[in-house]
Amino acid sequence: YPPQGVYSKHLFRTRLHVRLKRPMDRRRTILIGDVHGCFPELKALLKKVRFNAKQDRLILAGDLIGKGPYSRQVVDFVRTVGALAVRGNHDHRIVKACAGLVKKVKPEVKTLMQTLGRDNCRWLATLPLSIYLEEYKIYVVHAGVKPLSRVENTPIDHLMNLRGLSKNRAVFKHGEGEPWACSWKGPELVVFGHDATRGLQIHKYAVGLDTGCVHGGNLTALVLPDFKLAHVPSLKMYKPPKIPWPDNVVPFLTSSGSPASQPSSSSSS
């Protein structure tokens, strides 16, 4: 699925959708939700799951940067260990600004661009919209997938911004509509981030890993092939959430540190 058109030429330095075969030299795959510049928590989580860069494959579900204080350190580390990532809306915002496609760049975006440096900004432009893991039949995307459609046919803004559905219409705001993952019928499992307001999500064919680390929640990982969850608590609330977590939503895992459940492609919501 090569990028097409002027839009892709400027904003994507890779294929829009990447398919990965099972690596012969990797025993585990570790998927992690939105990091948002929370580098100490990322290091702590990888230590907890005993990440070995030579033996494990690390994939992040987008939004590596922004909001938190250590965006440069996160990107430097991810590149150093050879990790993979899909593109989140915050990553994409930087790519658009660096490509000169934003008429008025916000001051905080300019500051982040300068902090990251030109090389890291160019690297963000290599991040695809989705990664498909053939051995697990799993898609990794940042935000959401259009129900009753293939991931590859889902609009770009859905893949990076979708949170819910309301009367079959896409919803992008926090907490509105029903989770899009409730309507995703598979058969592939989709692992995503972006929706910290709803916290940890486990549906029949989708797992949401954004547990609000930058908002004082947790940073969460799904470790394959065992389909086990792991998390570490945030060191602090780096940025308040746009809306409070609803009373009926647990935004992150229990403080005991034990997995809340072991999701699989056959588990129910």
Closest by CA to 229, choosing from 260, 192, 200, is 260
pTM (two decimals): 0.87
Express each pLDDT in 157-185 by its tens digit: 999 999 988 888 888 888 788 999 999 99
Count how many Cα atoms sit within 13 Å of the Cα of residue 184 in the half-sphere of its side chain: 32
User: What is d(CA 25, CA 234) in angstroms, rounded to the nearest whole number?
Assistant: 32
The mean pLDDT value of the chain amounts to: 85
- Tell me, what's the pLDDT at 246? 61
Q: Which residues are CB-neighbours of 127 under 8 A, at least 6 positions away?
A: 14, 62, 85, 86, 87, 91
pLDDT tens digits, 12-33: 666 789 998 887 777 899 999 9
pLDDT the model gives residue 101 = 83
Q: What is the pLDDT of residue 255?
A: 33
Tell me if 32 sits within 8 A of 221, measured CB to CB.
yes
Report whether 201 contacts 178 (CB < 8 A). no
Give the relative orientation of helices 71-80 and 39-48 as an angle to the nearest 10 degrees. 40
The tally of CA atoms less than 13 A away on the side-chain side of residue 56 is 19
